[in-house]
Amino acid sequence: MIFVLKKIRYTEFKINEVMQDVVLSQDVLSVDSYEEIISLARDNSSEFLFRFKEYYPSFIDKLLEIEPKLKTSELTFCAYLKLNFSTKDIATYTFVTPKAVQNRKNRIRKKLSIDSNIDIYVWFNNIK
Protein backbone atom coordinates (compact mmCIF):
# COMPACT_ATOMS: atom_id res chain seq x y z
CA MET A 1 0.00 0.00 0.00
CA ILE A 2 2.78 2.47 0.92
CA PHE A 3 4.64 1.55 -2.24
CA VAL A 4 1.57 2.36 -4.36
CA LEU A 5 1.17 5.77 -2.67
CA LYS A 6 4.83 6.60 -3.22
CA LYS A 7 4.53 5.54 -6.85
CA ILE A 8 1.47 7.77 -7.31
CA ARG A 9 3.23 10.76 -5.70
CA TYR A 10 6.31 10.20 -7.83
CA THR A 11 4.17 10.01 -10.98
CA GLU A 12 2.33 13.22 -10.03
CA PHE A 13 5.67 14.90 -9.38
CA LYS A 14 6.96 13.88 -12.82
CA ILE A 15 3.74 15.06 -14.49
CA ASN A 16 4.12 18.47 -12.81
CA GLU A 17 7.75 18.70 -13.96
CA VAL A 18 6.77 17.96 -17.55
CA MET A 19 3.92 20.47 -17.42
CA GLN A 20 6.28 23.17 -16.12
CA ASP A 21 8.72 22.41 -18.93
CA VAL A 22 5.91 22.75 -21.46
CA VAL A 23 4.81 26.08 -19.99
CA LEU A 24 8.40 27.39 -20.00
CA SER A 25 8.94 26.32 -23.60
CA GLN A 26 5.72 28.08 -24.61
CA ASP A 27 6.94 31.26 -22.91
CA VAL A 28 10.22 31.07 -24.84
CA LEU A 29 8.26 30.54 -28.05
CA SER A 30 6.09 33.53 -27.19
CA VAL A 31 9.12 35.73 -26.57
CA ASP A 32 10.71 34.59 -29.85
CA SER A 33 7.45 35.18 -31.74
CA TYR A 34 7.05 38.62 -30.20
CA GLU A 35 10.61 39.58 -31.09
CA GLU A 36 10.01 38.34 -34.64
CA ILE A 37 6.91 40.54 -34.91
CA ILE A 38 8.85 43.57 -33.69
CA SER A 39 11.63 42.86 -36.17
CA LEU A 40 9.17 42.49 -39.06
CA ALA A 41 7.51 45.76 -38.08
CA ARG A 42 10.84 47.59 -37.98
CA ASP A 43 11.68 46.22 -41.43
CA ASN A 44 8.25 47.26 -42.75
CA SER A 45 7.86 43.66 -43.95
CA SER A 46 4.78 42.53 -45.84
CA GLU A 47 4.76 39.47 -43.56
CA PHE A 48 4.26 41.60 -40.45
CA LEU A 49 0.45 41.57 -40.34
CA PHE A 50 0.32 37.82 -40.96
CA ARG A 51 2.66 37.11 -38.03
CA PHE A 52 0.89 39.69 -35.88
CA LYS A 53 -2.41 37.85 -36.45
CA GLU A 54 -0.78 34.63 -35.27
CA TYR A 55 0.44 36.26 -32.07
CA TYR A 56 -2.78 38.24 -31.40
CA PRO A 57 -5.42 36.04 -33.08
CA SER A 58 -8.54 37.94 -31.97
CA PHE A 59 -7.23 41.52 -32.20
CA ILE A 60 -7.91 42.06 -35.92
CA ASP A 61 -11.31 40.35 -35.69
CA LYS A 62 -12.38 42.65 -32.86
CA LEU A 63 -11.29 45.72 -34.80
CA LEU A 64 -13.25 44.52 -37.81
CA GLU A 65 -16.32 44.01 -35.60
CA ILE A 66 -16.07 47.66 -34.59
CA GLU A 67 -15.38 48.91 -38.13
CA PRO A 68 -15.74 46.30 -40.91
CA LYS A 69 -14.41 48.68 -43.58
CA LEU A 70 -10.89 48.98 -42.17
CA LYS A 71 -8.26 48.54 -44.87
CA THR A 72 -5.20 46.31 -44.53
CA SER A 73 -2.96 49.36 -44.20
CA GLU A 74 -5.15 50.67 -41.37
CA LEU A 75 -5.08 47.28 -39.64
CA THR A 76 -1.29 47.29 -39.91
CA PHE A 77 -1.20 50.77 -38.40
CA CYS A 78 -3.46 49.62 -35.55
CA ALA A 79 -1.08 46.71 -34.98
CA TYR A 80 1.78 49.22 -34.59
CA LEU A 81 -0.27 51.04 -31.98
CA LYS A 82 -1.07 47.76 -30.21
CA LEU A 83 2.69 47.16 -29.99
CA ASN A 84 3.06 50.63 -28.40
CA PHE A 85 5.28 52.05 -31.13
CA SER A 86 5.70 55.79 -30.75
CA THR A 87 4.70 58.22 -33.47
CA LYS A 88 8.36 58.76 -34.29
CA ASP A 89 9.05 55.00 -34.49
CA ILE A 90 6.07 54.39 -36.77
CA ALA A 91 7.21 57.26 -38.98
CA THR A 92 10.70 55.79 -39.20
CA TYR A 93 9.53 52.24 -39.94
CA THR A 94 6.96 53.30 -42.55
CA PHE A 95 9.04 56.03 -44.19
CA VAL A 96 6.58 58.88 -43.54
CA THR A 97 6.71 62.03 -41.44
CA PRO A 98 5.62 62.11 -37.79
CA LYS A 99 2.89 64.56 -38.82
CA ALA A 100 1.51 61.97 -41.28
CA VAL A 101 1.46 59.39 -38.49
CA GLN A 102 -0.35 61.81 -36.19
CA ASN A 103 -2.93 62.50 -38.90
CA ARG A 104 -3.39 58.77 -39.38
CA LYS A 105 -3.92 58.31 -35.64
CA ASN A 106 -6.65 60.93 -35.78
CA ARG A 107 -8.33 59.21 -38.74
CA ILE A 108 -8.19 55.85 -36.95
CA ARG A 109 -9.57 57.49 -33.80
CA LYS A 110 -12.48 58.83 -35.83
CA LYS A 111 -13.17 55.54 -37.66
CA LEU A 112 -13.15 53.52 -34.44
CA SER A 113 -15.03 56.19 -32.45
CA ILE A 114 -12.29 56.58 -29.86
CA ASP A 115 -12.94 59.64 -27.73
CA SER A 116 -10.17 62.25 -27.86
CA ASN A 117 -9.68 62.21 -24.08
CA ILE A 118 -8.83 58.47 -24.16
CA ASP A 119 -5.20 57.48 -24.67
CA ILE A 120 -5.16 55.61 -27.97
CA TYR A 121 -2.44 53.22 -26.76
CA VAL A 122 -4.48 52.28 -23.70
CA TRP A 123 -7.54 51.76 -25.90
CA PHE A 124 -5.66 49.37 -28.20
CA ASN A 125 -4.06 47.53 -25.28
CA ASN A 126 -7.51 46.91 -23.79
CA ILE A 127 -8.50 44.96 -26.90
CA LYS A 128 -7.61 41.36 -26.18
Exposed, middle or buried, 89 (CB in 10 Å: 0-12/13-18/19+)?
Answer: middle
Count CB atoms within 10 A of the CB of residue 81. Answer: 20
Collect all residues with Cβ–Cβ distance below 8 Å to 12 and sequence separation of at least 6: none
Per-residue pLDDT tens for 15-40? 666 556 544 434 334 667 888 999 99
**Amino acid sitting at position 2:** I
Give the count of domains, the chain.
1
Tell me which residue range forms the domain holding 39.
2-125
Least confident interval from 30-44, 46-60, 90-104 = 30-44
Q: pTM score, two decimals?
A: 0.74
Count CB atoms within 10 A of the CB of residue 60. Answer: 20
Instruction: Give CA–CA dist 54/6, Å, rounded.
Output: 43
